[in-house]
Amino acid sequence: MPMERLNMFRTMLLGLVLIFGGVMACSTPDASQPETPGTEADPASAEASTDPSSDAVVADAGVVNVYSARHYDVDDELYTLFKAQTGIDVNIIEGDSASLLERLRREGEQSPADLFVAVDAGRLHQAELEGIFDPVQSDTLNERIPESLRHPEGLWFGLTKRARVIVFAKDRVQADELASYEDLADPKWKGRVLIRSSSNVYNQSLVGSIIAAHGEEEAETWCRGLVANMARKPQGGDRDQVRAVAAGEGDVAVANSYYLAHMMSGSPEDQEAISKMSVLFPNQSDRGTHVNISGAGVVKGAPNRDNAIKFLEFLTSDAAQQIFAGGNKEYPVVTSAEPAPELAAFGSFKEDPVNASVFGAGNQQALMLMDRCGWR
Ligand SMILES: [Fe+2]
């Protein structure tokens, strides 16, 4: 090949490489984004097959990108049903709440996230403090979800409920011996109360609800009484507290309602443990039992905001609420769906009507109070 023709060929080849390379770079804008130095490795990054961050950060009529701290099998069923009803694909990034928030922070405006899902109002409040939510005004959401279970300005919406109940050993405690969370601080329960650690957000929200009901000073006195009554140094999850009561380490325990329902169809040991318990909905003669939520909010700058709202509305439909209720044994937030039979068997109960945003926002105050009163 003569020199001139060879040079022309090289120039064309280089041009093609540049054009093709440019197209590739445009289609993967995230790859060109520098990582924020000093951030931790992302535990969710292993889920490459469902990672929406490899897609362009532009609206896609057929997609909603969900960052979810819920890890329940039943959720997959919901995504499939939504896809069948709307044709919209649900891309899920799972992780714990803190690592998902860290990821959102790192991705900044380039984030493909449309919806952030968390368990517990305390976590939703932390996300709110990070400024990740954009308010949503939806008549469907406002009509379907009771006011106490959604943010007053539409930053997030409760999708399922869980009651924080008291269980007690049938053979050692009479039903009329206690009726409220406040009773757990009575010296008669010294060495008999089992409850998990103060690092657990369910307990932080419970304490937040007690601060909302009685003020900080009285709540702290209660907390000291409760700590004095603990049967052991807090350890394990909610189910472990029930197992410990069954094993005779204490007589009363505090646990979320869905754990009890799961134990009823769990291992033979758990079935035996739960059969020895009675379930008590605390505070029925006054403000009602503390109820927490799992919920979600639309992310600021969501590339698929309309789909995110559509998905949220779908999650409050009777069909979706029935799946939530049946799968993870949570209470539906709509009255037209039925709780799972195990939960229904505990009976209906009066709920503390305090807005979840109140004890959510009181999370730090609750945590400091628990620390002061020696709840480890
Ligand atoms: Fe849980």
Q: How many Å lie between the centroid of ligand 1 and the Cα of residue 182?
A: 23
Instruction: Tell whether the model's pLDDT for residue 10 goes beyond 80.
Output: no
Span 106-121, pLDDT tens digits: 999 999 999 999 999 9
Q: How many Å lie between the centroid of ligand 1 and the Cα of residue 242?
A: 14
Q: How many Å lie between the centroid of ligand 1 and the Cα of residue 297?
A: 20
Residue 198 corresponds to which tokens in the numbers above? 């103060």
Q: How many Å lie between the centroid of ligand 1 and the Cα of residue 201?
A: 10
Q: How many Å lie between the centroid of ligand 1 and the Cα of residue 42?
A: 22
Span 61-113, pLDDT tens digits: 799 999 999 888 888 999 999 999 999 999 999 999 999 999 999 999 999 99
Span 332-361, pLDDT tens digits: 999 999 999 999 999 999 999 999 999 999
Rounded to an integer, what distance in angstroms lies between the CA atom of residue 239 and that of residue 274? 9
Q: How many Å lie between the centroid of ligand 1 and the Cα of residue 89?
A: 27
C-alpha of 105 from chain center: 19
C-alpha of 63 from chain center: 22
Q: What is the DSSP string of 256-298?
A: EHHHHHHHHTS-HHHHHHHHTEEEE-TTTTTT-B-EEEEEEEE
Span 201-257, pLDDT tens digits: 999 999 999 999 999 999 999 999 999 999 999 999 999 999 999 999 999 999 999
Q: How many Å lie between the centroid of ligand 1 and the Cα of residue 30?
A: 33
Q: How many Å lie between the centroid of ligand 1 and the Cα of residue 258?
A: 8
Secondary structure (H, E, C), 116-159: EEEECHHHHHHHHHCCCECCCCCHHHHHHCCHHHECCCCCCEEE
Rounded to an integer, what distance in angstroms lies between the CA atom of residue 172 and that of residue 348? 25
Which residue is listed with tokens 């957000």? Answer: 201
18-27, 269-278, 319-328, 343-352: lowest mean pLDDT where? 18-27
pLDDT computed for residue 327 by the predictor: 86
Superfamily name and number for 162-290+350-372: Periplasmic binding protein-like II (3.40.190.10)
Architecture of the structural domain at 57-160+292-346: 3-Layer(aba) Sandwich (3.40)
Residue 328, C-beta contacts closer than 8 angstroms, at least 6 positions apart:
72, 74, 160, 258
**Please, what is the average pLDDT of the chain?**
86
Across the range 310-314, mean pLDDT stands at: 98
Rounded to an integer, what distance in angstroms lies between the CA atom of residue 138 and that of residue 144? 10
Give start-end residues of each CATH 3.40.190.10 domain in the chain: 57-160+292-346, 162-290+350-372
Q: How many Å lie between the centroid of ligand 1 and the Cα of residue 175?
A: 26
- Note if the pTM is more than 0.85: no
